């Protein structure tokens, strides 16, 4: 066992992890439409070649997940999760390379998904293949490559959890850089509908009631939630301010400021029928993100009350879809501590657990009571933008972190999450 462990830190996996990452990028799994069939087949075949029992299952036609399991007998189960879908490449003329070429140039792998998150998936795959050769471990590793993350995760990770695919701890290979992500804000998407009384435009505002005008008041009221300061419980308070200092050091001042506020975006509006009619209806949709430690339900009640007080009747406001609560795994959790030690050992750096301002499939695992951490190779600037890429050096580091994590999580005698010092 120790022989295996010692080799991990200098594990020469550069060629393998780079090649796999390029291969994954060449499958254009843009979501929408989230067609991952060919990519799922590639991943299955890769794992099967490594001797790992693998299968594909679909929640609905086209939404395929790959499940693979390393079974070393009784013991704890570590889940490794990554999504196969990527956001669309958008306007191809804005890219300075083929987003689905998977080209390797000057120490980078280039393409849509390089950071989010085919780089992470590639590193998970080579770590799985490596771990399949070990025979001194105890417990299980449950690998899942999922669809649908970029459109909510309902048909990927959430569905798998509902089918009973779960474990004692989970690592998601989402892009993070050196600092693992242990929590995320909640999301509250709302639709407001304002009603008015139609009349001839030539007599407005003497006659009728204009629904568009009413909606402008609703928008102002909803945006006022941004100004609020909130009373946080001690642990969220500490986590938020630690993350804020880390983000500010990295030049991410805007993201830092968003963490302890409810952010608001009105993303869509439609109303009225004709230029010379007083509008009798108007509809708008809002995206609000709620900090950890604050309940989405409380924010919604407050908003409804404010709209009632400040705009009055003639407005309905309701969630567009199931809101998701902000969630986090405590930095004191043994699994978080194990991940931190593993990153420290492999990279020689000083990782700090941080929160993310957006959300991911991690929320489903946390909702199922599974301690969950995100760590993966990343060049954060290119994510969801043009010219996405990832460094080969980070791919190698991630593969080593995952391999060491599998090793130490599944090593008998280590206690649940205790790392043996080298």
The residues of the shown chain that bind Zn ion, judged by CB under 5 A, are 116-117, 174
CB 250 within 8 A of CB 318: no
Complex with Zn ion: residue 174 or 333, whichever CB lies closer: 174
Min CB(125)–Zn ion separation in Å: 16
Complex with Zn ion: residue 168 or 174, whichever CB lies closer: 174
Min CB(48)–Zn ion separation in Å: 25
Min CB(117)–Zn ion separation in Å: 5
Min CB(81)–Zn ion separation in Å: 11
Complex with Zn ion: residue 153 or 236, whichever CB lies closer: 153
Complex with Zn ion: residue 121 or 399, whichever CB lies closer: 121
Q: Angle 8-11-12 (CA atoms, 0-180°, nearest 5)?
A: 175
Q: List, in sequence order, every residue forming a beta bridge with 374; answer none if it has no partner.
A: 172, 181
CA distance 324 to 289: 9
CA distance 31 to 303: 32
CA distance 375 to 291: 21
- DSSP code per residue over 243-290: HHHHHHHTT-HHHHHHTTS-EEEEEEEEE-S-TTB---EEEEEEEEEE
Complex with Zn ion: residue 11 or 155, whichever CB lies closer: 155
Q: Angle 322-323-329 (CA atoms, 0-180°, nearest 5)?
A: 120
CB 329 within 8 A of CB 183: yes
Complex with Zn ion: residue 124 or 218, whichever CB lies closer: 124
CA distance 299 to 188: 9
Min CB(391)–Zn ion separation in Å: 17
CA distance 115 to 83: 12
Look up residue 395 and give its two tokens.
């791919």
Complex with Zn ion: residue 174 or 260, whichever CB lies closer: 174
Complex with Zn ion: residue 186 or 236, whichever CB lies closer: 186
CB 389 within 8 A of CB 379: yes
Min CB(82)–Zn ion separation in Å: 8
The C-alpha torsion from 112 through 115 and 117 to 120, rounded to 10°, is 140
Question: What are the start-end ranges of the H helices in 143-205?
Answer: 157-162
Q: Closest-CB residue for Zn ion? A: 116
Min CB(397)–Zn ion separation in Å: 18
Min CB(98)–Zn ion separation in Å: 21
Cβ contacts of 19 within 8 Å, gap of 6 or more: none
């Amino acid at each position: 066992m120790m022989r295996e462990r010692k080799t991990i830190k200098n594990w020469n996996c550069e060629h393998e992890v780079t090649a796999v990452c390029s291969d994954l990028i060449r499958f254009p799994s843009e979501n929408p439409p989230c067609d991952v069939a060919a990519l799922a087949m590639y991943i299955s075949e890769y794992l099967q070649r490594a001797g790992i029992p693998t299968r594909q299952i679909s929640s609905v036609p086209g939404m395929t997940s790959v499940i693979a399991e390393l079974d070393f007998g009784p013991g704890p189960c570590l889940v490794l999760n990554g999504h196969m879908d990527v956001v669309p490449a958008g306007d191809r003329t804005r890219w300075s390379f083929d987003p689905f070429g998977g080209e390797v140039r000057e120490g980078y792998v280039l393409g849509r998904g390089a950071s989010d998150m085919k780089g992470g998936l590639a590193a998970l795959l080579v770590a799985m293949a490596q771990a399949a050769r070990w025979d001194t471990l105890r417990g299980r590793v449950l690998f899942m490559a999922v669809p649908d993350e970029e459109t909510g995760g309902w048909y990927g990770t959430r569905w798998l959890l509902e089918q009973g695919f779960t474990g004692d701890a989970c690592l998601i290979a989402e892009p993070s850089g050196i600092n693992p992500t242990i929590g995320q804000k909640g999301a509250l998407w709302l639709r407001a509908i304002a009603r008015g009384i139609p009349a001839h435009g030539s007599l407005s505002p003497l006659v009728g009631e204009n629904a568009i005008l009413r909606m402008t008041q609703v928008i102002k009221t909803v945006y006022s939630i941004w100004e609020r300061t909130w009373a946080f419980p001690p642990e969220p308070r500490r986590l938020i301010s630690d993350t804020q200092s880390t983000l500010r050091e990295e030049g991410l001042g805007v993201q830092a400021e968003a963490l302890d506020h409810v952010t608001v975006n009105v993303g869509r509006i439609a109303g009225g029928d004709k230029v010379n009619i007083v509008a009798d209806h108007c509809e708008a949709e809002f995206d609000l993100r709620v900090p950890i430690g604050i309940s989405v339900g409380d924010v919604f009640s407050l908003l409804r009350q404010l709209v009632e007080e400040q705009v009055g009747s003639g407005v309905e406001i309701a969630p567009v879809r199931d809101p998701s609560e902000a969630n986090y795994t405590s930095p004191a959790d043994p699994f978080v501590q194990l991940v931190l030690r593993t990153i420290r050992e492999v990279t020689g750096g000083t990782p700090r657990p941080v929160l993310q301002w957006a959300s991911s499939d991690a929320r489903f695992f946390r909702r199922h009571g599974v301690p969950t951490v995100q760590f993966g190779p990343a060049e954060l600037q290119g994510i969801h933008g043009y010219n996405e890429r990832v460094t080969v050096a980070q791919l190698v580091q991630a593969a080593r972190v995952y391999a060491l994590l599998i090793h130490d999580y599944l090593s008998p005698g280590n206690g649940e999450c205790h790392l043996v010092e080298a």
